Amino acid sequence: MNRTKKITKKFMGKAKKANSKLHTANKPKYVSKAERDRLEALEIAGKAIQEID
């Protein structure tokens, strides 16, 4: 590899990493099925307690 290609490759690698940090995904964080069931059970239990009061 010649000198300019090495310098360009190094610079482009840094630029690519910086660009990827700026554009993060906007999709929601994954929640497992077991966790969804647990949260739903807690929510139902909370509503039941509020209805009693």
2-47 tens-digit pLDDT: 999 999 999 999 999 999 888 877 778 899 999 999 999 999 988 8
pLDDT of 1 > 90? The answer is no
3-state SS of 1-53? CCHHHHHHHHHHHHHHHHHHHHCCCCCCCCCCHHHHHHHHHHHHHHHHHHHHC
Give the pLDDT score at 53: 65
